């Protein structure tokens, strides 16, 4: 592999890592609804497009200066834009400025890498990446310093036809970059469920290699390596400190401390603790749960239906905190927990459900698997299936609230088995999320009951072919605990759903509409 191809290979690796770091961090920073995910990816590829566009329109000297500056700026990521975002929130600036930060940093992140391929293909000299010498002009001695050897393009561009060119070797060069990108994806996968410095520090040394091979300035390379080594030992502290400031000023948590921050294969997983010791689990910047709410949440979604109709077998889908397992264990003959994200499980075991509460539960099995995949392949039937999953803010999450998914769940329930779900709010007569979820349930199950708990701050639904408990049973069990609990029995739930369309695989408009409303409210409205 010659030098050009090696540089492009390393550029591909760096581009892959840079895309992952930037997209994950900005999705969490802007709160990871589907609209945000699309916008952040678009910003990254816009930065790449600008790099392609400008690569042949700037001089070599300008390109070298911009490239070197970009490499040094890369050493500040992701801490610099976290601190800037926290400062922006502290100043009370309009949400629009967070979008400005996104596009500025996307340009820095991706454009420098995307300039290489066009420059090499066109034959433009890219600093120290060599080009083939041409003979000196007639009459000029080759050793004459006033007439150094001229350069010919790395690649010849013979005309293919009117207005067209065949770029000889383009396929080979582009393949090198793609291979590097694939290796970068492998490095990213290796870093999953580990602190970010496991990926950042090797990435910084790769940048040093690219910088040296491209510019061949020893002092510059030495300065760059020094800049890596000095903060390298503090990178984990910077990661958590910058995250803490974001949660203090952007999420408005009093004196927060970021305890845990990793990137799983699916999302950014963070645990934050406030000054009173209350802990929060955030997934892609969205609060999934807090320790103060777990007692009420677990009671209504798991313990209440299990106590009213003790199941033989219980299936829990989600509940990465594992906090409902000790609640259900005395009420079930067998429990199976299915959670897709091992990173969430790590956080749950370390910060929300101490291992001591899970030890000795020999009738409990934990599976790391996708809920849909598990249900399709399971042969068992369950007396209770608990769906403790996030609100439908992304297409992936919404898939677990659809009519089609509930049909799959129904196949794995016993005749009087119960499905218990969160409604992501209070059920009202409209076309919002709780009504859309409840509507999907009523299309599949003959009986659906809804409750709203002011103490838990959310609604729940119980669905079955034939519910094994009544409104009076629920009221009697919860009267002392929460006298203000609102109960909507199966015979009345239809009144709330006359305006609601069921969530379905071909009817996911709620995800984009709700995501856009939340996004516009945070970042585009003046107030």
Task: Collapse the DSSP code of 247 into the 3-class scheme (helix H, G, I; strand E, B; otherwise coil) and give the result.
Answer: helix
**27: how many CB neighbours lie within 10 A of its CB?**
22
Q: Mean pLDDT of residues grouped by 10 in the chain (527 residues)? A: 86 94 95 93 92 88 92 92 95 92 90 83 58 44 40 37 46 88 97 95 95 93 91 85 96 96 97 96 95 93 96 96 96 97 96 90 96 96 96 91 97 96 92 94 97 94 97 96 96 93 92 91 81
- Give CA–CA dist 270/172, Å, rounded: 41
Q: Is 166 helix (H, G, I), strand (E, B) or coil?
A: coil
Based on its alpha-carbon atoms, the radius of gyration of the chain, rounded to whole angstroms, reads 28
| Strand ranges (E), 346-499 | 364-368, 382-388, 413-422, 447-453, 458-464, 486-488
Q: 105 Cβ partners below 8 Å, 6+ apart?
A: 22, 26, 77, 81
pLDDT of residue 129: 55
> Please, are residues 467 and 447 in contact by the beta-carbon 8 Å criterion?
yes
- Phi/psi of residue 65, nearest 5 degrees: -65, -45
Q: Which of 454, 512, 441 is nearest to 481 (CA)?
A: 454
Pull the structure tokens for residue 460. Answer: 């729940």
Position 178 scores a pLDDT of 93
Residues 6 or more apart whose Cβ sits within 8 Å of residue 43: 26, 102, 103, 106
Looking at residue 149, its pLDDT comes to 43
pLDDT of residue 526: 63
CATH homologous superfamily of 293-522 equals Vaccinia Virus protein VP39 (3.40.50.150)
Burial 242-254 (b: 16+ CB within 10 A, else e): bbbbbbbbbeebe
Distance from the Cα of residue 445 to its chain's centroid: 33
CATH of 236-289, one of 3.40.50.1460, 2.30.140.10, 3.40.50.2000, 3.40.50.300: 2.30.140.10
Contact 227, 151 (CB under 8 A): no
Tokens of 499: 């305006």
283 close to 28: Cβ distance less than 8 angstroms: no
Tokens of 401: 């609230």
> Which strand (E) or helix (H) includes residue 164?
strand 164-165
H, E, C per residue of 325-386: HHHHHHHCCEEEEEECCHHHHHHHHHHCCCHHHHCCCCCEEEEECCHHHHHHHCCCCEEEEE
**Predicted local distance difference test score (pLDDT) of residue 124:** 53
Residue whose C-alpha is closest to residue 48's, from 148, 144, 115, 145: 115
- Tell me the DSSP string of 266-292: SSEEEEEE-TTS-EEEEETTEEEEETT
pLDDT of residue 229: 85
Closest CA to 318 of 256, 250, 371, 259: 371
Tokens of 21: 């770091």
C-alpha separations of 5 from 67, 99, 204, 221 in Å: 18, 36, 20, 21
Q: Of 334, 289, 295, 341, give the one whose Cα is nearest residue 315.
A: 334
Per DSSP, 135 falls in state P
Would you list the domain boundaries of the chain?
A: 3-131+167-231, 236-289, 293-522
Q: Which letter does DSSP use for residue 78 in this model?
A: T
Q: Which CATH class is domain 3-131+167-231?
A: mainly alpha
CA distance 15 to 22: 10
Report how far residue 95's alpha carbon sits from residue 519's, in angstroms, rounded to the nearest whole number: 10
Tokens 């838990």 correspond to: 456
The torsion of the CA quartet 228, 234, 235, 238, rounded to 10 degrees, works out to: -130
Q: How far apart are CA 173 and CA 181, in angstroms?
A: 13
> What residues does 270 pair with on adjacent strands?
261, 282
Instruction: Name the pairing type of β-strands 313-318 and 334-339.
Output: parallel
- At 422, phi and psi to the nearest 5? -85, 145
- The pTM (predicted TM-score) of the whole model is 0.88
């Amino acid at each position: 592999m010659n030098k050009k191809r090696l540089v492009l290979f390393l550029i591909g690796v760096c581009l892959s890592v840079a895309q992952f770091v930037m997209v994950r961090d900005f999705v969490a920073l802007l709160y990871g609804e589907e609209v945000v995910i699309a916008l952040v990816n678009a910003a990254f590829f816009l930065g790449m497009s600008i790099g392609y566009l400008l690569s042949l329109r700037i001089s070599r000297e300008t390109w070298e200066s911009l490239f070197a500056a970009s490499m040094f700026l890369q050493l500040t990521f992701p801490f610099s834009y976290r601190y800037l975002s926290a400062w922006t929130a502290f100043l009370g600036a309009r949400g629009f400025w967070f979008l400005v930060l996104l596009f500025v940093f996307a340009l820095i992140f991706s454009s420098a890498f995307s300039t290489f391929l066009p420059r090499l293909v066109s034959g433009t000299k890219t600093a120290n990446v060599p080009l083939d010498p041409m003979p000196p002009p007639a009459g000029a001695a080759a050793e004459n310093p006033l007439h150094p050897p001229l350069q010919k393009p790395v690649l010849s561009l013979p005309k293919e036809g009117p207005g067209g060119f065949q770029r000889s070797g383009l396929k080979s060069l582009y393949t090198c970059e793609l291979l590097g990108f694939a290796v970068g994806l492998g490095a990213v996968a290796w870093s999953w469920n580990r602190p970010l410095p496991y990926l950042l520090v090797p990435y910084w040394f790769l940048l040093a290699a690219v910088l040296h091979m491209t510019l061949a300035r020893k002092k510059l390379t030495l300065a760059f390596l020094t800049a890596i080594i000095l903060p390298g030992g503090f990178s984990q502290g910077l990661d958590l400190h910058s995250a803490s400031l974001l949660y203090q000023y952007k999420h408005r948590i009093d004196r927060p401390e970021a305890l845990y921050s990793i990137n799983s294969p699916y999302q950014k997983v963070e645990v934050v603790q406030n000054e009173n010791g209350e802990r929060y689990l955030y997934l892609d910047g969205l609060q999934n749960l807090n320790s103060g709410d777990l007692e009420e949440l677990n009671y209504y979604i798991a313990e209440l239906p299990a106590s009213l109709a003790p199941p033989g077998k219980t299936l829990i889908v989600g509940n990465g905190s594992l906090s409902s397992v000790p609640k259900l264990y005395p009420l079930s003959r067998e429990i199976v927990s299915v959670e897709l994200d091992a990173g969430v499980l790590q956080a749950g075991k370390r910060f929300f459900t101490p291992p001591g509460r899970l030890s000795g539960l020999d009738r409990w099995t934990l599976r790391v698997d996708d809920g849909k995949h598990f249900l399709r392949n399971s042969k068992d039937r369950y007396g209770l299936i608990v769906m403790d999953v996030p609100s439908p803010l992304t297409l992936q999450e919404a898939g677990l609230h659809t009519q089609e998914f509930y049909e799959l769940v129904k196949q794995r329930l016993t005749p009087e088995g119960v499905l218990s779900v969160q409604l992501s709010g209070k059920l009202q007569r409209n076309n919002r999320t709780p009504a859309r979820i409840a509507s999907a349930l009523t299309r599949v199950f003959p009986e659906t009951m809804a409750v709203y708990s002011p103490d838990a701050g959310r609604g729940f639904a119980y669905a079955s072919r034939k519910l094994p408990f009544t409104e009076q049973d629920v009221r009697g069990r919860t009267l002392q605990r929460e006298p203000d609990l609102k109960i909507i029995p199966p015979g009345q739930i239809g009144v709330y759903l006359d305006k609601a369309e069921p969530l379905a695989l071909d009817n996911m408009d709620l995800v984009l509409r709700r995501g856009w409303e939340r996004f516009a409210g945070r970042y585009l409205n003046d107030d």
